[in-house]
Structure 1
Amino acid sequence: MKVLVTGGSGFISGWVRKELLARGHSVLVMDHQDRRQQLADGEEFFLGDVRDATAVTEAAAHVDGIIHLAAVLGTQETIHNPRPSAETNILGSLNVFEAGTQYNLPVAYAGVGNHFMRLQGTGCYTITKSAAEDLARMYNAYRDGGRITIVRPVNAYGPGQSVAEPYGSSKVRKILPALSCRALVGNPIEVYGDGTQISDCVYVADVASTFVTALEHTAAHGPTEKPVEVGPLESVTVNDIARLVAEEATRYTGREPVAIKHLPMRPGEVPNAVVSADTTTLQQIGMTAADFVPLDEGIHHTVRYYAEHWLPGYLAA
């Protein structure tokens, strides 16, 4: 297949593109920023924004399937500025679903692992991504050509994920870069809340494999009955994740593991929340979380990446 990947220059998208190429597919990368210089063999670039219905329809006319990853991210960030996430995550997704339906294309849509929290007054990111899930179900039920499988990863992590302030330029804080960078420079790891909440993490290569498998399954058999949830078999607390990162960082710093510092919960975060995946849903596409990268191994790869690729530049700045 030739596959359109929206938001094609992002963190998860980069791993999805590698997985598609490894399986013999070709890729049309769509992004609103011109990143065509980053293309690999087997990839083409389409400059466009998913909020532009004409651009999405034009891109869809040249492919055999779509993996829709374009989104405005953030928890408290989208609370203070909700309009961009509403425009991209809802209207942009509507454009993708409409174009996919027009051309009878299989679509794998990136839902959100904490979808249930939209009922608890959480951030605009969760609300808007969940609204797009409702649209996907509508297309599958009532529109000829609606072939959309929802894929819900929990927190994806791994090498290459962007680093937020004060250690990088990203505006959105992600758990593993935030913990890893603090530990590597010897600062206490900051955990919001008491750290007993469950916020499961899944290695990005497994997320990418799931998206591609979900698209291939949808092309052959139609959309899955339930959303495909992507996460580990066993849940751990945020404190557990922090401890693993702190211990892994000592391999590179030679210092004792840094302390864990607890901060008040941020707007949009729910105390004692349990963000985990129903991994039995992977069976719908012939996958199992038993084959996923274990958390300790994934954290080893991730902390090593930041130690080797981020830390030298940060120390030299």
Structure 2
Amino acid sequence: MKIGVTGGQGFIGSHLRKELLARGHEVVVFDRHPRTAIAPSEEFFLGDIRDETAVVELAAHVEGIVHLAAVLGTQETIGNPRPSADTNVRGSLNVFEAANQYGIPVAYAGVGNAFMRDLGTGSYTISKTCAEDYARMFNAYRGGAITIVRPVNAYGPGQSVAAPYGTSKVRKIAPSFACRALTGAPIEVYGDGTQISDCVYVGDVACAFVAALEHTAQHGPTERPVEVGPLESHTVNDIARLVAEQATKYTGREPVAITHLPMRPGEVPNAVVSSDTSTLKQIGLDAADFVPLDEGIRRTVDYYATSWLPGYLAA
């Protein structure tokens, strides 16, 4: 199949493209950012999902779409919710309409914390779950073929780094913890760290999106959203300790301390962000085959130690 990937230059998008190419699919990268090719065979479409004409043009030239493009952030989208609403809702509607026009399947990136919409959370979750509702509407009344895929926190090599260690505007667990541990700074955890915030290795997320799109192309959308996460849940403190211990192999020092900060706006104390991994059976996957957390953290810390740290120290 020839697959369009919105947000294909992003963290998950880059890993997804590798998975698509490995499975013999052709890839069209749709993104606002200039091209960074993984393989010579890739095609690039510089565009924005808010531009309905550009999205229709994409749909006209592919046989399926994995829709990843979004404005991210929890507290970051509370102070200024309009960009996330515009991109995540209207942009997704553009994708669904264009796919419907050409009768092609879509795998849509939902959110692993969709339940928090009822508890008071940031515009990211609100807008992404709103688009899920539209996906269900298209499937029910417009003959749509949209499967919702809900990864929990994706992590792994290549994830962007936020201040003070990088330029990303959105702080993610794995790079934040790894960069601090590798530079000898205490790992900062929001809240008491006992909250469950499951993480899933990005390669497994990529496999899930490809499997979901292939299933949708052959059989139609899944009955339930596909929730992508690990079999075993861990607390944020567990993740911090694993990162701190792995970093010692590169620093030669004792594990850094773990400090606790107040919860950020949009986060819910004692929340349990996990997944119903039984939903993976719909697309032929089993979470038992996913990369275990300790191995995933090892690969991730190794990436930041070898690919990020030398440049940071030299700056």
The alignment's TM-score, normalised by the length of structure 2, stands at: 0.99
Query: Could you list the runs of 4 or more consecutive aligned residues of structure 1 that deviate by over 3 angstroms after TM superposition?
Result: none
Q: 2:177: which partner in 1?
A: 179
Post-superposition offset of 1:33:
1.8
Letter in 2 for 1:148: I
Letter in 2 for 1:42: S
Q: 1:2: which partner in 2?
A: 2
Q: 1:13: which partner in 2?
A: 13
Alpha-carbon distance in 1 for matches of 2:187, 2:34: 35
Aligned with 1:234: secondary structure?
coil
Alpha-carbon distance in 2 for matches of 1:29, 1:313: 28
Q: 2:246: which partner in 1?
A: 248
Alpha-carbon distance in 1 for matches of 2:40, 2:287: 30
Q: 1:116: which partner in 2?
A: 115
Alpha-carbon distance in 2 for matches of 1:28, 1:109: 16
Alpha-carbon distance in 2 for matches of 1:93, 1:199: 26
Q: 2:257: which partner in 1?
A: 259
How many pairs align? 315
Q: 2:284: which partner in 1?
A: 286
The equivalent position to 1:200 in structure 2, one of 198, 201, 215, is 198
Post-superposition offset of 1:81:
1.1
Q: 2:87: which partner in 1?
A: 88
Post-superposition offset of 1:313:
0.8
Q: 2:75: which partner in 1?
A: 76
Asked if the contact 1:198–1:275 (Cα under 8 Å) also holds between the matched residues in 2, the reply is yes
Alpha-carbon distance in 2 for matches of 1:267, 1:285: 35
The equivalent position to 1:306 in structure 2, one of 290, 304, 307, is 304
Q: 1:157: which partner in 2?
A: 155
Q: 2:237: which partner in 1?
A: 239
Percent identity reads 77
Letter in 2 for 1:255: R
Deviations 1:31-56 (A, max 9, x none): 11222x43522210011100001100
1:167 aligns with 2:165: yes
- Segments of structure 1 that go 5 or more residues without pairing to the other structure are none
Letter in 2 for 1:173: R
Alpha-carbon distance in 2 for matches of 1:292, 1:140: 29
Q: 1:43: which partner in 2?
A: 42
1:143 aligns with 2:142: yes
1:128 aligns with 2:127: yes
Asked if the contact 2:89–2:128 (Cα under 8 Å) also holds between the matched residues in 1, the reply is yes
The equivalent position to 1:214 in structure 2, one of 212, 215, 240, is 212
- Segments of structure 2 that go 5 or more residues without pairing to the other structure are none
The alignment's TM-score, normalised by the length of structure 1, stands at: 0.99
Alpha-carbon distance in 1 for matches of 2:39, 2:75: 35
Could you say what the CA RMSD is over the residues aligned between the two structures, in angstroms?
0.6
